[in-house]
Amino acid sequence: MKVVLLKDVKGVGCVHDSVTLADGYALNHLIPKKFAIPATPMALQEAELRRKRMQDHATLNASLLAQNIASLASARIVIRAKANEKGHLYDAVGEPEIRAAAKDQARIDLSKDAIKLEKPIKELGTFDIPVAVADTFGKFSITIEAE
């Protein structure tokens, strides 16, 4: 049976894909759980329109993200945290704190998976933070100062 997927189904396909499956799997599992609909000509046409709209939206987001990363590279972001006299932080600075600082100080909203830190920062100083979303890569600097 040919169906159009309404959601990503592991091992089957992605949203708006048209796939041919066993009748029982489609009729007893995917369609009742609203993971798929039968592939009528109208459903296929609508899926193609949605797929195109989704691709256009992804292209627009990628271009906006590239602009954001370029402007973020020139911004100065400072995070204040409590530290001891040796320069070690009491609480590590991680991705959520960096994302919040970028939003507050540079007015750039980064997605949760955009910042690619290997490990949280636990010392005072200036650090380069890598950023990657899809095909767009970049980095920006943050300075962590003692309160």
Domain range summary for the chain, segments of one domain joined by +? 2-63, 73-146
Position 60 pLDDT exceeds 80:
yes
CB distance 102 to 117 below 8 Å = no
The CATH architecture of the domain made up of 2-63 is 3-Layer(aba) Sandwich (3.40)
Q: Which residues pair with 121 in a beta bridge?
A: 93
pLDDT of residue 110: 79
Position 136 pLDDT exceeds 80:
no
Q: Is 4 exposed, middle or buried (0-12, 13-18, 19+ CB in 10 A)?
A: buried
Identify the top-confidence range among 54-58, 67-71, 132-136: 54-58
**Fold (topology level) of 73-146:** Ribosomal Protein L9; domain 2 (3.10.430)
pLDDT of residue 93: 94
Q: Which residues pair with 140 in a beta bridge?
A: 129
- Mean pLDDT for the stretch of residues 61-77: 79
Position 36 pLDDT exceeds 90:
yes
**Model pLDDT for residues 89-123, shown as the tens digit of each residue:** 999 999 999 999 988 888 888 778 888 899 999 99
Top pLDDT among 136 and 144 is at 144
